[in-house]
Amino acid sequence: MKNVHNYERDPEGFLYDPRVRAAVDRFAGGEDELPSLEAAAAVRTAYHAVERMRAHGSEGRGVSAGALDLLVRLGGGGQGISIGDLARAAGVSSRNVTGLVDTLERDGLVRRVPDPSDRRSVLAEITPAGREWIDAFREPSRRAMRAMFQGFTPEELVVFRDLCLRLAANQHRLADHLRQIGSQS
């Protein structure tokens, strides 16, 4: 794909996408809403850029972004994790995680084991083949993320992380509020 992103700098020296700014300005109908809508568009653009790089790194390995997330989570601990806990950690439904675990299990990267604390339940656990997969993916992934964040200082990365997580926390609070309003009607 050709570089379709032609960013410019505003008078304060900050990057912006003139096409996004024009579209958002028409949509918002005023400058008061422009910063938040432009920021949302920039977050979306950055998310897609990171995901494209992550997908490129797992290309040919047959693992989706969701499955990769589960493998990394399972590889980080020494013991299995319940489907429900994986779903909560990933912010998706248990049904979604069950499908991902089914796929990873078929590929020999994950297995289901009995939960020692609840015999009615099972845990997902990474297999030795899954650990090998993660080990093979680790260094290309590190190189890709270093390249993605080239030119950022460690302090900027901490601020960026904080801003992203504050945005996610705001969304969680808003979702909770909307759920409460919906349950009252």
pLDDT grade, residue 33 (50/70/90)?
A: confident
- Strand-strand pairing, 81-82 and 8-9: unpaired
Q: pTM of the full predicted structure? A: 0.71
What confidence score (pLDDT) does residue 170 get?
94
Full residue range of the structural domain in which residue 174 is found: 152-185
Domain match, 107 and 70 both: yes
If you write DSSP's letter for every residue of 129-150 in order, what string do you get? Answer: HHHHHHHHHHHHHHHHHHHHTT
Residue 172 has φ and ψ, to the nearest 5°, of: -65, -45
Q: Does the structure show a pLDDT above 90 at 53?
A: no
Domain match, 72 and 126 both: yes
Would 72 be classed as within a structural domain?
yes
Per the CB < 8 A criterion, the answer to whether 81 and 97 are in contact is no
The structural domain count of the chain equals: 2
Domain match, 78 and 128 both: yes
What confidence score (pLDDT) does residue 138 get?
84
Would 79 be classed as within a structural domain?
yes
Domain match, 71 and 104 both: yes
Please report where in the chains the tokens 């900027």 appear, as a residue: 156
Would 101 be classed as within a structural domain?
yes
Domain match, 76 and 114 both: yes
Per the CB < 8 A criterion, the answer to whether 82 and 123 are in contact is yes
Would 38 be classed as within a structural domain?
no
Domain match, 123 and 165 both: no
Would 127 be classed as within a structural domain?
yes
